[in-house]
Structure 1
Amino acid sequence: MSSQDLYLSITPYTPSNIPAEDALIAAGKALIDESRKWKQGKSYCKNTVKTCSRSKTSKDGAGWHARHSVHSPSVGSFEDFWKGLGVKKAEHEREFIPELEKVTLVKELSSYGSIWTLYYKFPPPVSPRVFTVYQLTHLPPSSPGIPKEGYIVSIPIDLSSPGDEALAEKEEKAVRGRYVSVEYIKELEDGGVEWIMATSSTPGGNIPNFVAEHSMPSQISNDVPHYIEWMQKQKAREIMLKA
């Protein structure tokens, strides 16, 4: 499948038909570029996180939402952000996303791509949700004078096909949701970081789509301060260990 044919959506893939890595990264780059032109929405976290959205099309199972934030060098470097988001992503998310209770590696497909199942637990009356995704990271080699940048693409995976029974056993028992997302991290000239995340999702179950869509901007924005707080704690811990 070429990058021109690949359309990112919440329609799941099976482990046997996951698109090629280069096609996924190309589709992720195109989506991030497109998201810069989406309809502007509210700003959150003291106006440091800006959101935008794109309505659902005939190719989509749900609408798209994105957030954009710029962080000064005093907050963190490109390496600080990539180390937390582009390396061991699922395991790190479990540490800074309050609702994410458990993550399980289903299958490692390459040095850069693995299937994970993510178990979220919410306050009643919302039932727990499980999202199974293939996560792919891409960090091009750095060159002098060229800003560093990296991509993380996550696509939904369905483990219900014949032959995937052993993999399916690793999923938690919960309502199945679906999400697709692309994250982009770029080093800025002043040493700061630009962080963009675009996502489309459905929580599954009986939650109306309009309710999920309405809450999406604030939900994805909250991940920014959660991550920064976690990242700075990690940096402080590393300093203490080196002292």
Structure 2
Amino acid sequence: MLEYFTLIAQLGLSASLPSQIQTSLDDSGLPDAVIEQRLRFLENRLQESKTQGQIWSYSWLAINGVSMVGLGAAAALADNDDDRVKDAAYAANAGIGLAYMLVTPLEARLGASLIVTLPERTREQKLAKLRAAEDQLRRNAERAETRWGLWEHVGNIALNVAAGAATGLAAGPKHGVDVALTGFIGGLAFLLTQPSKPAKDWEAYQNLTGEKTSNVEVFVNSRPDGATLNMRFQW
């Protein structure tokens, strides 16, 4: 007869495998043909993102740059203080967007230009080139994922709430709401229109290399008459 028992504490075990390949694969033992295949794959995928990356980068540089200058001039020429404050707030928001792009430029706009110039005459050079290409595609993918990044969207909300509040105090609630809402919509469009292709390309590369792994969770639940072992898989 099974004795009833109660676990003093719930036992939890978890084993998590990485969901992304490392910055550089352990590729020292790869055949030359495989190295060549991966290099060409990476170069092609990097190059395919170039046009979209350039369109996004130069479009937003123009939008932010023109807005900053134009609205700054409008603020200087405004007939009343309220409009001056409102236009200055708009110009400041555009300036922040421009500064962000200059400090963290979209690397996808470069395509494969940083990679194709690297030598590959020897095996060591090919491996170094492969690692550099992997790193660039990974960085591009990470940037693409910021479209839905928590902190990016929290930052967008916080920045525009602060700008709206400051404008509201100086120029009235209506102008404050206008600045906050317009800035939020602009920031949201800025984030969501970033090129998404690099993230898909990185996933395709993981599939190609066989390095895409699953997450496995193992846990034990206590019950009045024993315990149950549960496993959950994610891939």
TM range (shorter): under 0.3
**TM-score normalised by the chain length of structure 1:** 0.24
As a proportion of its length, which structure holds more helix? 2
**TM-score normalised by the chain length of structure 2:** 0.25
Structure with the greater alpha carbon radius of gyration = 2
Q: Which has the higher contact order (CA 8 A, sep 6+)?
A: 2
